């Protein structure tokens, strides 16, 4: 009796799953606040070099005075004549007038990291990225050695600690160090909880639970965080808001338990049974002890048989030792690079579109809801492969069109149209990003799922460091970033065809299962078309009998 059958008896979509889904939603809110804090704390508004003649003027009047000066942000004025600024022949700007976004003050404006110090926020962001890489690798390793739940707590609290400490810094070294600590938990807090939910949900309910909860709660966090920042008005207080709720994860061990599937791969059969009994009790199910005895016996025999065949312990590097798993792993790594880079570029590129970046980010974040429903509606019909392939293909088309509209339209006169296109672009990448997570988790065997998913994520995060360079390509030709991202997404869509379909299949538990998974399946196998062909074949056979 395997895990899925025992979980079905204990309840695969009962009260326990409801609680774990609510906690998954809470984790998504924490993740969204944490994600957007990196952009908020270093937000740089429009600014001009200060002058005595400008102190009592409005922002609009200052902008008008600097209208005839090319580099207005960092040019020192000698005097103001007839409403126009005269640039000084020499001098360095030491104070600035900022056009604050709804009076919101960032670390950039507080510490005046502009002009010759404009690179300092980027330095802090680079340390944040270094923390992402270290944290994803470290916590992914720990999740497969000490368990999903304790690693989740460590990851979430480390990110919150980094955000909280950042709120007290007043120099670049302190900022960089705290952003490194904050970056440790980026994505890991989310995907570790994702894996826990994934392993306790019925395969039939997996798409609903994972994607709808993600859509609702992550969307809520992203849409409200810019307004919360505007309401608070200061980057330090916003970081308190983003970090202190993370203490709520300390209650998780009281409500849910460790992954029983992970415990089985570690031969901790008694603890796995205890977890399943807790699930059964929570769901109001009575399960005979004989069921658990048969369950443990099944896995003991399975493990003994596998040990006779191979003495090697399953590791992530083991996925490269066999031809099919190696191909799957390399494809998933490359696909993660494509999707993460596309997602990051489209989400960051919010300035110069005729609308407040804060408001544009908030309003276009509403696409997370329809994205979740689209995945729910289609993923169990057209399959995981069809969803991943189709989302990338459609997203590539939308991104190309958006790029050309940005190039040829006046942003101030077409702000609404551009906002709609940006929202559609975010919609396409969101569907691709969310569908990719579940697809990868289903292909990767249970025994290495934590490490493999973390390593796939870290490769994707590494690619996000290129997003600034991709956006900079617009200096040469405005639609170039969109065209580049579109080409990547078209290529990623083709890559999806080389992966196996996982819909309605028993997922691999170890590397041996992974190598045999979906053997002899065609690259163009899609469940929706396959069912139709089967139906037509059965109809033809029926008619031939008469």
Evaluate if residue 296 carries a pLDDT over 90. no
Q: What is the band of 308 on the pLDDT scale with cuts at 50, 70, 90?
A: low
Instruction: Tally the C-alpha atoms within 13 A of residue 374's C-alpha that lie toward its C-beta.
Output: 20
More confidently predicted of 90 and 172: 172
Tell me the backbone φ, ψ of residue 97, rounded to 5 degrees: -105, 120
Which CATH code fits 314-546? Answer: 1.20.1250.20
Q: How much is the mean pLDDT over the chain?
A: 79
350 is written with which tokens? Answer: 């919010």
Lowest mean pLDDT of 31-45, 95-109, 323-337, 511-525, name the range.
511-525
With a CB cutoff of 8 Å and minimum separation 6, the contacts of 214 are 24, 28, 368, 372, 434
Which pLDDT value is given to residue 472?
67
Cβ pair 131, 458 in contact under 8 A: no
Which pLDDT value is given to residue 360?
82
Q: Is 48 exposed, middle or buried (0-12, 13-18, 19+ CB in 10 A)?
A: buried
What is the average pLDDT across 201-228?
Answer: 79
Evaluate if residue 310 carries a pLDDT over 60. no
CA distance readout (Å), 54 to 64, 90, 99, 105: 11, 19, 13, 20
Cβ pair 415, 355 in contact under 8 A: yes
DSSP conformation class of 70: T
Q: What is the band of 388 on the pLDDT scale with cuts at 50, 70, 90?
A: confident
* Annotated domain spans of the chain: 1-33+119-311, 47-99, 314-546
Evaluate if residue 535 carries a pLDDT over 60. no
Q: Is 245 helix (H, G, I), strand (E, B) or coil?
A: helix
Evaluate if residue 476 carries a pLDDT over 60. yes
199 is written with which tokens? Answer: 């392993």
Percent of the chain with pLDDT over 70: 89
Q: What are the beta bridge partners of residue 101? A: 104
Which CATH code fits 1-33+119-311? Answer: 1.20.1250.20
Q: What is the band of 165 on the pLDDT scale with cuts at 50, 70, 90?
A: very high
Asked whether the whole model's pTM tops 0.85, one would answer no
- Whose structure tokens read 């050695």? 145
More confidently predicted of 181 and 132: 181
pLDDT tens digits, one per residue of 426-439? 888 888 887 777 77
Among candidate residues 193, 168, 192, 191, the one with its CA nearest the CA of residue 178:
168
Which pLDDT value is given to residue 545?
41
Q: Element (H or E) spanning 84, and its range?
A: strand 84-87
Query: What does the alpha-carbon distance between residue 392 and residue 494 come to, in Å, rounded to a whole number?
Result: 9
Q: Is 48 helix (H, G, I), strand (E, B) or coil?
A: strand
Which pLDDT value is given to residue 544?
42
Evaluate if residue 495 carries a pLDDT over 80. yes
Evaluate if residue 538 carries a pLDDT over 50. no
Which pLDDT value is given to residue 395?
84
Which pLDDT value is given to residue 352?
62
Cβ pair 192, 356 in contact under 8 A: no
Cβ pair 6, 280 in contact under 8 A: no
Which pLDDT value is given to residue 427?
85
Evaluate if residue 543 carries a pLDDT over 50. no
- Degrees (nearest 5) of the Cα angle 191, 194, 199? 130
Which pLDDT value is given to residue 528?
65
Query: What does the alpha-carbon distance between residue 435 and residue 344 come to, in Å, rounded to a whole number?
Result: 16
Lowest mean pLDDT of 21-25, 279-283, 296-300, 538-542, name the range.
538-542
Query: What does the alpha-carbon distance between residue 356 and residue 347 come to, in Å, rounded to a whole number?
Result: 14
Cβ pair 86, 80 in contact under 8 A: yes
Evaluate if residue 22 carries a pLDDT over 70. yes
Size of the chain in residues: 546
């Amino acid at each position: 009796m395997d895990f899925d059958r025992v979980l079905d008896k204990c309840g695969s979509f009962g009260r326990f799953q409801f609680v774990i889904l609510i906690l998954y939603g809470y984790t998504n809110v924490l993740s969204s606040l944490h994600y957007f804090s990196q952009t908020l704390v270093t937000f740089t508004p429009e600014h001009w070099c200060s002058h005595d003649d400008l102190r009592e003027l409005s922002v609009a009047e200052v902008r008008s005075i600097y209208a005839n000066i090319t580099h207005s942000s960092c040019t020192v004025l000698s005097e103001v004549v007839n409403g126009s600024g005269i640039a000084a022949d020499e001098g360095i700007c030491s104070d600035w007038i900022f056009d604050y976004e709804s009076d919101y003050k960032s670390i950039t404006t507080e510490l005046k990291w502009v002009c010759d110090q404009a690179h300092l926020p980027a330095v802090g962001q680079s340390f944040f990225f270094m923390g992402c890489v270290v944290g994803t690798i470290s916590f992914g390793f720990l999740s497969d050695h000490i368990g999903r739940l304790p690693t989740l707590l460590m990851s979430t609290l480390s990110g919150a600690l980094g955000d909280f400490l950042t709120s007290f810094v007043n120099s670049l070294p302190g900022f960089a160090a705290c952003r490194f600590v904050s970056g440790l938990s980026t994505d890991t807090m989310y995907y570790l909880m994702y894996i826990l939910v994934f392993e306790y949900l019925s395969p039939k309910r997996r798409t609903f639970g994972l994607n709808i909860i993600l859509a609702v709660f992550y969307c809520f966090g992203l849409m409200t965080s810019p307004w919360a920042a505007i309401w608070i008005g200061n980057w330090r207080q916003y970081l308190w808001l983003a970090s202190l709720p993370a203490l709520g994860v300390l209650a998780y061990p009281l409500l849910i338990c460790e992954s029983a599937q992970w415990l089985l791969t570690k031969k901790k059969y008694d603890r796995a049974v205890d977890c399943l009994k807790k699930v059964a009790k929570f769901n109001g199910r009575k399960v005979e002890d004989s069921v658990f005895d048969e369950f443990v016996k099944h896995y003991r025999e399975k493990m003994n048989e596998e040990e006779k065949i191979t003495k090697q312990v399953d590791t992530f590097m083991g996925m490269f030792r066999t031809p099919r798993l190696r191909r799957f792993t390399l494809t998933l790594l490359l696909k993660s690079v494509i999707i993460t880079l596309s997602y990051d570029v489209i989400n960051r590129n919010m300035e110069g579109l005729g609308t407040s970046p804060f408001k544009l980010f908030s309003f276009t974040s509403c696409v997370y809801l329809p994205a979740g429903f689209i995945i729910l509606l289609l993923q169990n019909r057209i399959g995981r492969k069809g969803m991943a392939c189709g989302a990338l293909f459609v997203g590539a088309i939308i991104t190309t069109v958006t790029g050309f509209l940005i190039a040829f339209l006046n942003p101030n006169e077409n702000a609404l149209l551009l906002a709609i296109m940006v929202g559609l672009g975010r919609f396409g990448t969101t569907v691709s990003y969310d569908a990719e997570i579940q697809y990868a988790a289903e292909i990767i065997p249970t025994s290495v799922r934590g490490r493999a998913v973390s390593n796939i994520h870290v490769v994707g995060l590494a690619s996000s460091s290129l997003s600034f360079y991709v956006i900079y390509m617009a200096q040469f030709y405005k639609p170039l970033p969109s065209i580049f991202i579109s080409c990547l997404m078209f290529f990623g869509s083709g890559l999806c065809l080389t992966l196996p379909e996982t819909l309605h299949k028993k997922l691999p538990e170890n590397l041996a299962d992974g190598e045999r998974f979906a053997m002899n399946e065609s690259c163009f196998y899609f469940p929706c078309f396959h069912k139709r062909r089967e139906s037509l074949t059965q109809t033809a056979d029926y008619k031939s009998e008469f």
